[in-house]
Amino acid sequence: MKNVLVTGAGGFIGHHLVKYLVAKGYKVRGADIKMPEYEATAAHEFLQVDLRLHDACQAATAGMDEVYHLAADMGGIGFISGSHAEITLNNTLISAHMAKAAHDAKVGKFLFSSSACVYPQHLQTSPDVTPLHEDVAWPAQPEEGYGLEKIYMEKLCQYMHEDWGISTRSVRFHNVYGWLGTYDGGREKVPAAICRKVALCPDGGEIEVWGDGLQTRSFMYIDDCVEGLFRLMQSDYTAPLNLGTDEMISINDLVAITSRIAGKTIRMRHDLTKPQGVRGRNSDNSRIREVLGWEPSIRIREGLAPTYKWISDELAAHAEAKPTAVAAE
């Protein structure tokens, strides 16, 4: 039985990946600064540690055969566009210490969770963007802060493979969503934010949409994400690889789909002063089909239905749990 470490196991993707790997028969250690928020971890062992620290990374990797390194300081566009110093410093410390710890522990395979934020900004200025192929990341012009650290770490993974013989993977995530993901507080991604807004809005009401809603993205459901991570780890492919769907939709269309799932008629109020990220982004999946003979296939309508239901149920449960105010006599 292989010993596998999942960093970021207290977060959305890491928590789902731990469950997936345990079901596959792996002995899994989770590591994160926090425990999972919405349900107990399935990990055989969970280290609640600060992975910005060298000693914590050394303890986490000890005795491990494989590492899925998902730990990162991250969030939605509002957070990552306004926290460049915090994000860059935290993620550099986490990833650099984890890379050194994997080397010291003689880990055989090391997967790094990169991002579509590594792609050049000038290639994403139109809603009708050409799907982003892995080869266009260089010459680099990544997203400030978050994307800059990701593309740097991709190169470090390349050097780890070339110099140290560690079999590395770099996965460029394209907008992962699903149940058990953060849906409020400022770090949520757009599908969760839209689901929350629609769930809280009465039928016939209005929600705020950041930007004009014409900006486009592709979105990958969590089940496809963990399946892709596992398949890539079983392959011998070490170069960066997109992991996302190639179903591109606008934010306005995302609201419309969510509204239909909710059975509501919703009006949109567009706020052009809010951050909205690049104008368009979509995944070119030609290489993942070639490398893995597989690609994410869950369509946005299929994945949003359980996501919306879970968020709506969470909001309803929290509303019911609030104490009722008693008027003074």
**Residues labelled catalytic:** 146
In the three-class reduction of DSSP (H, G, I as helix; E, B as strand; rest coil), residue 122 is classed as: helix
Sign of the four-CA dihedral 11, 314, 183, 213: positive
Ramachandran region of residue 146, left (φ > 0), alpha (ψ -120 to 50) or beta? alpha
Whether a cis peptide bond, with omega within 30° of 0, leads into 139 is: yes
Quickly list H helices, the chain: 12-23, 54-61, 77-80, 84-104, 146-159, 190-200, 222-234, 251-262, 286-292, 300-321
How far is the C-alpha of 216 from the C-alpha of 281, rounded, in Å? 6
How far is the C-alpha of 188 from the C-alpha of 210, rounded, in Å? 13
Look at residues 117, 108, 107, 133 and name the one whose alpha carbon lies nearest to residue 241. Answer: 133
How far is the C-alpha of 78 from the C-alpha of 20, rounded, in Å? 30
226, 17 contact by CB (below 8 A): yes
223, 274 contact by CB (below 8 A): no
DSSP, res 5: E
